[in-house]
A = this chain, B = another copy of it.
Amino acid sequence: MSRLFKKRSHKTGLAPGTLIHIGAQQTEPVVINVLDYTAECLGETTVRCVEDCEPFAKEGTVSWLDVSGLHNLPLIKGLGKLFALHPLVLEDILNTEQRPKQEDHADYLFFVIKMLYENKADHTFVVEQVSFILTREVVISFQENPEDIFDPVRQRIRDPRWRIRKLGTDYLVYALIDVIVDNYFHILENIGEAIEQVEVDIRQSPSKKNHDKIHHLVREVIFLRKYIRPVSAVLEGLQESESTLIKPETKVYFNDVHDHVQQAIEMIDSFRDVLENLENLYLSLINYRLNSTMQLLTVITTIFMPLTFIVGVYGMNFENMPELKWHWGYFAVWGIMLVTALMMFVYFKRRKLL
């Protein structure tokens, strides 16, 4: 399960625009994977310094600069200078605890979105921030770790038959966001299955362990909502944006991905309702069990206490106890006790306490 937050307090009091990388520290060198394409031709290179990026800023081709790693500050600063990015934009790219947002800086659009994917090792989900810069010729994506979920987009770019090769940077950004949103559903489906499983488990045994599963699912849904809900506002802002960087024919695609995000949010809301319902179910099962236990206790006590009292009576040592001398006394007492127990038993059966 993801932690509640990452530390950002060591940033407190620094000048706005001061570049400082907030996030896990990496030591691998930062590389920029470049895909530079038109409908006809495609170039694929890996660069390590800003100077090598300059050619891609020229007009004519669509270039995707995929920056994997944020700990090389000079590189990031260099990119900022090359594409004339606002200092606050650079600061936001480096602070991986941003909330999803979208800003229109006239010459470029800036997005921050959370990428979610499953950690195959322990079946938890990983949250990673991806920032996009969209200019007319270039898309720059920034992320902390080299692994990502963009391979399907890369495959499509490599194959000239796909539509993506014929369309501009706006469609590329759309394709990247679309993959991210598709992955939300992957996570949501896993959670949905876990919820269905936990209901089965809890009906079998309303144990502490199974309640813990509900508890963890609630926590995960809280965090999913925190990450996914603002994405809807980002895409809405984009629809209403008057920027010419997004062409009208691409807007229908952004509209579509917006619909998917809405659907994801509705799924999350249903999950919360269902989990609340499961909490109630758990409580009712626990309650029911306590009731059963108490009823068993009550039945046992109510049957044996009077019997124990009766045998106690004839265990007294009074010299003058006529019954003790009766020949059938002992057997009469047994008879009385059996009748008493039987009546109690019938009474409890009738009141459905047994």
Q: Which residues of A are in contact with B by a Cβ distance under 8 Å?
A: 3-5, 7-9, 11-17, 86, 88, 92, 97-99, 101, 103, 149, 151-153, 156, 162-164, 174-175, 178-179, 182-183, 185-186, 188-189, 192-193, 195-196, 205, 208, 211, 215, 218-219, 222-223, 226, 230, 252-253, 255-256, 259, 262-263, 266-267, 270-271, 273-274, 277, 279-291, 293-298, 300-302, 304-309, 311-321, 323-330, 333, 352-353
Contacts and interface: CB of A to CB of B under 8 A. Distances in A.
21 contacts: A5-B189, A9-B186, A9-B189, A11-B182, A12-B185, A15-B152, A101-B259, A208-B284, A208-B285, A230-B266, A283-B284, A286-B287, A294-B298, A296-B302, A304-B308, A304-B309, A311-B312, A314-B317, A314-B318, A318-B326, A320-B329
Interface SS, A side: helix
A293 B294 contact: yes
Contacts of A313: 311
A13 B149 contact: yes
Nearest to A87: B163
Kindly name the residue among A175, A205, A271, A329 whose own CB sees the greatest number of chain B CB atoms within 10 A. Answer: A329
A103 B253 CA distance: 12
A103 B255 CA distance: 10
A282 B284 contact: yes
Given A88-B252, A308-B312, A315-B316, A163 B281 contact: no
A243 B178 CA distance: 29
A321 B21 CA distance: 84
A312 B253 CA distance: 85
A323 B333 CA distance: 15
Contacts of A291: 286, 289-290, 293
A286 B283 CA distance: 11
B274 A222 contact: yes
A123 to B, nearest CB: 14
B14 A152 contact: yes
Contact of A12 (B5, B186, B256): B186
B182 A13 contact: yes
A318 B293 CA distance: 36
A152 to B, nearest CB: 3
Contacts of A259: 98-99, 101
Contacts of A208: 284-285, 288
A258 B351 CA distance: 52
Nearest to A174: B16
Contact of A196 (B3, B226, B288): B3
Given A13-B182, A196-B4, A316 B298 contact: no
A311 B7 CA distance: 65
B293 A163 contact: no
A293 B291 CA distance: 8
B300 A226 contact: no
Given A4-B192, A192-B5, A300-B302, A223 B270 contact: yes
